Amino acid sequence: MAYLLYKHIKNKRANRATAPTEPEHSVPDLPGGNKTNPEKPQALINQNQTHGEDSTNSKAPVVDAEEAERIKAETSRRRKYRWKMVAGLILPNFLAAVDTTIVAPAVPIISSHFSWF
């Protein structure tokens, strides 16, 4: 099932990479730009800036100090929880490996020292 999901996602990514990002059409004749120079006209750039669109397309969220501190504390809490989970999973596996490789072969030798007859 995991293999089929992997193939499905891989095919979607391949289709997305080969699909055209913008439709093929002619550029309208606007003030400040023409069909031979399809750059964005200055009038549209000014209009976008007045409507709150940033020309650098930066999408960085603005976070105040209190929110940044909360995010930092949450990240720290998650990191500690993750390490506790890893330690809780590694310790029993280590003990099982020790039991299998060291203690089990030594049991007959240890039990031979306790002769009951």
Note the pLDDT tens digit of each residue in 38-70.
555 555 555 555 555 455 555 666 778 899 999
Higher pLDDT residue, 98 or 17? 98
- Contact criterion met (CB below 8 Å) for 64 and 73: no
- Contact criterion met (CB below 8 Å) for 19 and 30: no
**Tokens 């193939």 sit on residue:** 7
User: What pLDDT shows up at residue 43?
Assistant: 52
**Tokens 């699909």 sit on residue:** 19
Q: In this predicted model, what pLDDT tens digit does every residue of 11-46 receive, in sequence order?
A: 888 888 776 655 555 555 555 544 554 555 555 555
User: What pLDDT shows up at residue 86?
Assistant: 94
Largest pairwise CA distance in the chain:
109
Specify the DSSP class assigned to residue 31. T
Residue 27 three-state SS: coil
Distance of alpha carbon 14 from the chain centroid = 19
What are φ and ψ of residue 43, in 5° steps? -65, -40
pTM to 2 decimal places: 0.37
Q: What angle do CA 53, 55, 56 make, to 5 degrees?
A: 115
Residue 91 tokens read as: 């310790």
Residues of the chain above pLDDT 70, percent: 62
**Tokens 């940033």 sit on residue:** 54
Across the range 96-100, mean pLDDT stands at 90
